[in-house]
Structure 1
Amino acid sequence: MAGARAAKERDGMAEAVRGEPCWVSLMVREPGAAREFYGALFGWEYADGPRRLGPYARALLDGRPVAGLGQLPADTGLPVAWTTYFAAPAIDELAAAVRARGGTVGVGPLDSPGAGRLALASDPGGAGFGLWQPAEHAGFAVTGVPGAHSWSELLTRDPASVAPFYRAVLGFDARQDGPGRLTFTLDGRPVAAALAVGRARARERGTGWLACFEVADVSASCARVLALGGQVVEEPAEGPRGRTATVADQEGAVFALVRTDVAHD
């Protein structure tokens, strides 16, 4: 079933498409332990990256960059979490659009020397995300294969209420794909989704962008997460894109594992 996954190769200097999910990055307290966890889970190796915001490494899958791991500044109180970045060819304009549409820009825009320009923002519902204007580093070199990013979903109380924000900022059109579920598209092509979560779920686990990583076997990967000291937050089940589970690493950063169904190639 190797054909069930939609692998996408990217030119490292490809022109950024506004709104395209282009990178995921994790900020942790113990980068060394995180490298070991994700290396054992996904087969990642690492190379030093820009240090504009502190120690940072790029995760490599077969030598190709697929994610970033950095260290949280001490005593910030910020959560350990994965952040999905969206391509922003004109990042200052998009940061202004975030503010104009009721969102918040918490960091930047600022330069990451030798890589690009970034900002960290949140939508009106408080869901955090990143904006990335590439220079030498365009983002993912490959997606949709085991060990690489596959998809990102916005977990939010009311998808319809935040859709206009993402349309104004990232150019997303929104397609209703069932009760409480929207698919975000660019030029008719699905790029992300938004899923309604109830009040209890929002209170217990929060809301925000969930990074999903492709795996060959979801159940086996869940067992590996447990063996490495992580948690299974939601057991494997069939979802809109295929078999999926929600897990957390040893510091509590939540992410998803997915075996994409052939229908979504």
Structure 2
Amino acid sequence: MKSDGTLRSEVVTSHSVCGAPCWVSLSTRDLKAAEDFYTAVLGWQWHSGRRMGDQYRIARVNGVPVAGVSEVDFVAKTAVAWIPYFAVASADETVSRSQERGGTTAVGPISFAPGRAALLADRDGAVFGIWEGELVSGWEAWRRAAPAFVRLHTRDAFDAAIFYGEVLGWASATPGCCQVDYEENEVVLRSHGDIVARIHSGAVEAAPDPTIRPHWQIHFAVSDVEACARAARAHGGTAHQQGVGSTEAVLSDPDGAHFTVTSKIGA
């Protein structure tokens, strides 16, 4: 209870969902164009990320923060991409474990007002982030509001699962850690009973196409996949559907960042 008599909202930290995806962030070369595109396609509303500076914007769904978008320097040729962030108990220890197992560190760990973050890549070059500290919108609220799950397309799903398991503490004795299973030729990650990630073999390590190279793909749950595909095409992006009535479509925004819209949660 606060001093004014109102209820204090419960603070959820990365410790309670350790190893699970807890945030997604987009890097783009045109912040305004990205806002317009994702508003049209996913219906997002936008607010400034005051703690992160003027070049970072927070997307919301029904008032719940669901994703971050940052503007990157075109001259520096920073990659344009959607990146998942995983909750960890210690950013410093996680970075060390990644490096010991052949991963690389692009940024961090660096401190922000609510926690610490780092940007890493696994042994096959798939980029991911880690976050230690307070979660922006809790976890359950974030899960309900927009992202369905994330999927890693990689060269060897089992090898990748070993790497991430050791780095992020999957299937460990840590309270609240994620469970790992093998279903339908994929490695499946669950947190608190929900499917939150899948790892799929098939990406080519040296492929020129970024959708074929090892990468994490963000899947957003939507009510109408075809409507999202039409909106993407109408606002300068692309859409690839499996057919009329498909439950899933791979879209790209005008800057080339790929993501998936799906009507199947955790599929």
Pick the TM interval, shorter chain: 0.7 to 0.9
Query: Secondary structure, in 3 states, of the residue corresponding to 1:226?
Result: helix
Larger radius of gyration, structure 1 or 2? Answer: 2
Higher strand share: 1
Q: CA deviation at 1:135?
A: 3.3
Q: TM-score, normalised by structure 1?
A: 0.84
Match of 1:175 among 167, 170, 181: 181
Q: CA deviation at 1:236?
A: 5.2
Counterpart of 2:199 in structure 1 is 194
Counterpart AA for 2:26: L
**Aligned counterparts, 1:1-265, within 5 A:** 13-16=11-14, 17-50=17-50, 52=52, 55-112=55-112, 114-135=113-134, 137=136, 141-145=141-145, 148-173=146-171, 174-179=180-185, 181-186=186-191, 190-199=195-204, 202-204=207-209, 205=211, 206-235=213-242, 243-260=247-264
User: Is the Cα contact below 8 Å between 2:148 and 2:221 reproduced in 1?
Assistant: yes
Q: TM-score, normalised by structure 2?
A: 0.83
Structure 1: how far apart are the matches of 2:164 and 2:135? 26
Counterpart AA for 1:143: R
Counterpart AA for 2:115: G
User: Is the Cα contact below 8 Å between 1:237 and 1:245 reproduced in 2?
Assistant: no
List per-residue Cα deviations over 1:60-84 (Å, max 9, x = no partner).
Answer: 1111100001101242222210000
Structure 1: how far apart are the matches of 2:69 and 2:251? 17
Structure 1: how far apart are the matches of 2:13 and 2:262? 28
Counterpart AA for 1:123: D
Counterpart AA for 1:159: A
Query: Secondary structure, in 3 states, of the residue corresponding to 2:184?
Result: coil
Structure 1: how far apart are the matches of 2:248 and 2:79? 24
5+ residue gaps in structure 2?
Answer: 1-8, 172-179
List per-residue Cα deviations over 1:147-200 (Å, max 9, x = no partner).
Answer: x11110001111111111111111224322123x21123576532111112549
Structure 1: how far apart are the matches of 2:111 and 2:35? 25
Q: CA deviation at 1:51?
A: 5.9
Quote the sequence identity (%). Answer: 33
Query: Secondary structure, in 3 states, of the residue corresponding to 1:34?
Result: helix
User: Is the Cα contact below 8 Å between 2:204 and 2:214 reproduced in 1?
Assistant: no
User: Is the Cα contact below 8 Å between 2:12 and 2:134 reproduced in 1?
Assistant: no
User: Is the Cα contact below 8 Å between 2:104 and 2:120 reproduced in 1?
Assistant: yes
The number of residue pairs the alignment matches comes to: 246
Structure 1: how far apart are the matches of 2:204 and 2:66? 33
Counterpart AA for 2:73: P
Counterpart AA for 2:55: P
RMSD (CA atoms): 2.6
List per-residue Cα deviations over 1:219-240 (Å, max 9, x = no partner).
Answer: 22111111111101453589xx
Question: Given the superposition, is the C-alpha separation of residues 56 and 229 from structure 1 closer, same or farther in structure 2, using an over 3 Å criterion?
Answer: same
Structure 2: how far apart are the matches of 1:60 and 1:188? 25
Query: Secondary structure, in 3 states, of the residue corresponding to 1:73?
Result: coil
